[in-house]
Chains A and B, each alone.
Chain A
């Protein structure tokens, strides 16, 4: 069956970096884009952007340009999100989601940024 399994929770200090992974299984990884979505505690969903899993080209929403990097390990059917120079407002759960219609979602990764 189709699954997106994300890495575990992270506790970081301001200024540090974090890398989150999203491992896909049950389908051909390069056939579907991968989207990233942020959910701050108690808040709604915010789209961060997406990566073309065939070409590796990322597209970032305006609020996520600069410190955020989408990457792939295509041979491992894995998409990654790296956030550098972490800020308190990056505290959130980060989801990966498959394809144009976001039909499958990872379980989410809680990233806590605190000094």
Chain B
């Protein structure tokens, strides 16, 4: 199974600060169809996960553009440019290139 390693496991930020979360894959996530099925999700406290970014860098509809995704093959990054209070929660990367679908272990974002 593909292992996704997220760092850091926890992150503390002030409002307005920019932060990045890394997700490294044990295998290349470039699919034979040319797409890379690496997504980012946010799970706010007590809520279900919400899709933020799909296929590395595509912003899901309705998601603020302070969120951005980048990377390729095995190294991926989620950046939040100007953290807001509502961004607190656990961020997960997720891959769907290789079966079974797997998730990273999560990065908890706390607001100082």
Binding site for B on A (CB under 8 A): 35, 37, 44-47, 49, 61-62, 95, 97, 100-108
For A50, give the chain B residue with the smallest CB separation.
Answer: B101
A90: min CB distance to chain B, Å: 19
B71: min CB distance to chain A, Å: 17
Report the interface size class on chain B.
20 to 34
Contact residues in B for A102 (Cβ distance below 8 Å): 39, 41, 49, 51, 94
Are the C-beta atoms of B49 and A101 separated by less than 8 Å? no
Top 7 nearest A-B pairs by Cβ distance? A105-B48, A47-B101, A45-B103, A101-B54, A61-B100, A103-B51, A44-B106
Binding site for A on B (CB under 8 A): 37, 39, 41, 43, 48-51, 54-55, 60, 90, 92, 94, 96, 100-106
Partner of A44, one of B54, B101, B103: B103
Are the C-beta atoms of B48 and A47 separated by less than 8 Å? no
Cα A61 to Cα B101 with chains together (Å): 9
A21: min CB distance to chain B, Å: 15
Contact residues in A for B94 (Cβ distance below 8 Å): 45, 102
Which DSSP category, helix, strand, loop or mixed, fits chain A's interface? loop
Cα A24 to Cα B74 with chains together (Å): 34
Are the C-beta atoms of B100 and A47 separated by less than 8 Å? yes
A-B contact pairs, 30 of them (CB 8 A): A35-B101, A44-B90, A44-B92, A44-B103, A44-B104, A44-B105, A45-B43, A45-B49, A45-B106, A46-B103, A47-B100, A47-B102, A47-B103, A61-B101, A62-B100, A97-B49, A100-B37, A101-B37, A101-B54, A101-B55, A101-B96, A102-B39, A102-B41, A102-B49, A102-B51, A103-B60, A105-B49, A105-B50, A106-B48, A108-B48
